[in-house]
């Protein structure tokens, strides 16, 4: 039976029970991947490496109490479950367009032996090559109990991740009810100033088209920094790992036991989202470097710390970077219209509205190296692009945006020392309220638009209208990783045409117009359109 106490972080702190749960949440899918994708002779020693790298969880004592109060736990569980439900997990409420493809990926992982293959593509065998960590626990449930149970499990798994992050943030602010509720509200409502960007860049047309279900975040055209609610509602598979890794860093300052697990956490995070891992690595390096400098210790450079994680990481990286030439990439400055100066001006506007103003307000109240590093990363990311939807900017920004979210919570929870501090807080609150329009629109869409049923038959290829998307499907042949991967199992691509390809979420979003009549009688979905997440 757990009892609860407020969190305290000290220089010699060990990894507490909340952090152990979060680390287990991140690392468990890695073990499932190694056991399911690799030949047994490769899987067993690598699983042993994961266990060895996670040894501090066993070697160091942990208190029997969760480092949160009963109130924090109750609010986090309630908010995390409701937030997840509104995000479309298990389609209890309206699910955004990306769930059309995500449902198909889960279908394939449940229906086929692992690794999942899709037959011959351009004279080479193809397979599902994607960051699959988010799906694997639910897919494992589906192997035993069926696809319907897998969807329920994926909803529960998502809610658990959201709840863990809320608990992490709440444990970093005072345990009084006002501070706890403030932290919950800031996490759910944190966003850049998308409404301002839309009004500045496309004012008259935007005012004419806007309704409370509008997705606001593509106002810059070529890139976006997603609000916390947008991340959960559209890409929990990328968001949850990035959030939890940043939460762990904040909660484990100068913890030798935790620092020794940073390499395996990076590897596990890469299987959740390699781009989120890329965005989190600078913060991990900052934390490890600062701790090593303060303690004058070289413990993190010892081979026993990084060699086990490196061996596992080589296999994970070999899988994730299969067939990289099919993924678009390059410099974003001057790439399309040849005007580098205009691109830089647009990127400056994007950075200031999405992160600069809010980050500056946070830094003015509570200065920290993490906030400065987050702003630096967010200023640089738009200079390059990677992926069909400029995924690098959207996904590598997740850890930095989590840093700003936590920074805002701690800045608002800090007791003002003088009148100027009240003014600074008022500015930050004003910016957060303007930014909150974005998550309000996301939540309104989940409430006002009807839920649509899961397509229990569509495969990834069928749901994607016959395409073999390069960020989901890779060709394999001759690579070193192929020597340790199990033989791929060809999954029939299944139903084709509108039965599989049609994306109900896009139909509903495009056909919806916000009027009092439509609240009670939604517009009939248009047929024949489709989307690709």
Dist. CA 510–CA 528, nearest whole Å: 12
- Quote the DSSP letter at residue 356: I
- Quote the DSSP letter at residue 458: -
Question: What are residue 125's phi and psi, to 5 degrees?
Answer: -70, 140
What's the half-sphere exposure (Cβ side, CA atoms, 13 Å) at 426?
5
Question: What are residue 331's phi and psi, to 5 degrees?
Answer: -85, 140
Assign 3-state DSSP to the chain and report helix, strand, coil percentages, each to 5: 65, 5, 30
State the pairing for strand pair 384-386/116-121: unpaired
Please report the pLDDT score of residue 334 as a whole number.
Answer: 64
Q: In what order do the strands lie in the sheet with 124-128?
A: 473-476, 124-128, 116-121, 489-490
State the pairing for strand pair 116-121/489-490: parallel
Kindly list the averaged pLDDT for each block of 10 residues, start to end, along the chain of length 533: 37 75 97 97 97 84 76 96 95 94 96 94 91 97 96 97 98 94 97 94 81 87 91 96 96 84 96 96 89 70 87 96 76 64 84 96 94 96 78 93 97 82 93 97 94 94 91 89 93 85 87 49 36 43
Note whether 246 and 273 are within 8 A (CB). Answer: no
Neighbours of 357 (CB within 10 A): 19
> What is the chain's Cα-based Rg?
23
Start-to-end CA span in the chain (Å):
43
pTM (two decimals)? 0.91
Dist. CA 252–CA 229, nearest whole Å: 25
Give the residues across from 474 on adjacent strands.
Answer: 127
């Amino acid at each position: 039976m757990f009892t609860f106490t407020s969190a305290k972080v000290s220089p010699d702190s060990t990894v507490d029970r909340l952090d152990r749960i979060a680390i287990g949440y991140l690392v468990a899918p890695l073990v499932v991947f190694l056991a399911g994708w690799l030949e047994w002779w490769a899987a067993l020693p690598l699983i042993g490496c994961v266990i060895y790298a996670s040894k501090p969880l066993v070697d160091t004592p942990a208190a029997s109490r969760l480092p949160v109060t009963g109130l924090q736990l109750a609010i986090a569980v309630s908010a995390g479950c409701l937030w997840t439900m509104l995000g479309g997990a298990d389609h209890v409420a309206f699910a955004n367009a990306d769930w059309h493809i995500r449902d198909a990926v889960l279908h394939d992982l449940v229906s086929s032996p692992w690794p999942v293959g899709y037959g011959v593509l351009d004279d080479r065998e193809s397979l599902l090559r994607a960051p699959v960590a988010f799906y694997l626990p639910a897919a494992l449930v589906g192997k035993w109990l069926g696809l319907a149970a897998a969807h329920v499990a994926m909803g529960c798994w998502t809610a658990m991740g959201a709840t863990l992050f809320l608990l992490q943030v709440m444990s970093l602010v005072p345990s009084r009810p006002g501070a706890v509720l403030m932290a919950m509200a800031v996490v759910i409502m944190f966003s850049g100033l998308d409404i301002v960007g839309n009004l500045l860049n496309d004012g008259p047309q935007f005012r004419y088209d806007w309704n409370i279900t509008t997705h606001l975040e593509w106002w810059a055209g070529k890139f976006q920094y997603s609000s916390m609610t947008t991340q959960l509602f559209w890409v929990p598979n990328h968001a949850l790992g990035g959030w939890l890794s940043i939460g762990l860093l904040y909660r484990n300052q100068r913890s030798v036991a935790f620092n020794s697990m940073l390499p395996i956490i990076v590897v596990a995070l890469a299987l959740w989202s390699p781009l989120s891992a890329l965005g989190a690595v600078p913060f991990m390096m900052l934390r490890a470097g600062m701790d090593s400098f303060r303690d004058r210790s070289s413990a993190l450079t010892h081979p026993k710390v990084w060699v086990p994680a490196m061996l596992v990481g080589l296999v994970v990286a070999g899988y994730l970077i299969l067939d990289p030439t099919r993924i678009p990439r390059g410099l974003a400055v001057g790439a399309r219209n040849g005007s580098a100066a205009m691109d830089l001006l647009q990127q400056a506007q994007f950075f200031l509205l999405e992160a600069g103003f809010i980050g500056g307000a946070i830094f003015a109240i509570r200065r920290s190296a993490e906030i400065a590093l987050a702003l630096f990363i967010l200023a640089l990311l738009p200079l390059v692009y990677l992926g069909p939807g400029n995924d690098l900017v959207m996904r590598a920004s997740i850890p930095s945006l989590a840093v700003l979210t936590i920074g805002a919570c701690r800045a608002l929870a800090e007791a003002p020392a003088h009148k100027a501090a009240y003014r600074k807080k008022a500015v930050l609150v004003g910016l957060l309220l303007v930014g909150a329009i974005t998550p309000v629109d996301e939540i309104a869409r989940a409430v006002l638009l009807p839920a649509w049923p899961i397509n229990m038959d569509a495969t990834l290829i069928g749901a994607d209208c016959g395409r073999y998307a390069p960020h989901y499907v890779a060709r394999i042949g001759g690579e070193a990783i192929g020597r340790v991967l199990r033989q791929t199992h060809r999954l029939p691509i299944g139903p084709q045409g509108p039965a599989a390809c049609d994306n109900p979420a896009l139909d509903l979003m495009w056909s919806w117009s916000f009027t009092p009549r439509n609240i009670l009688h939604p517009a009939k979905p248009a047929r024949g359109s489709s989307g690709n997440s």
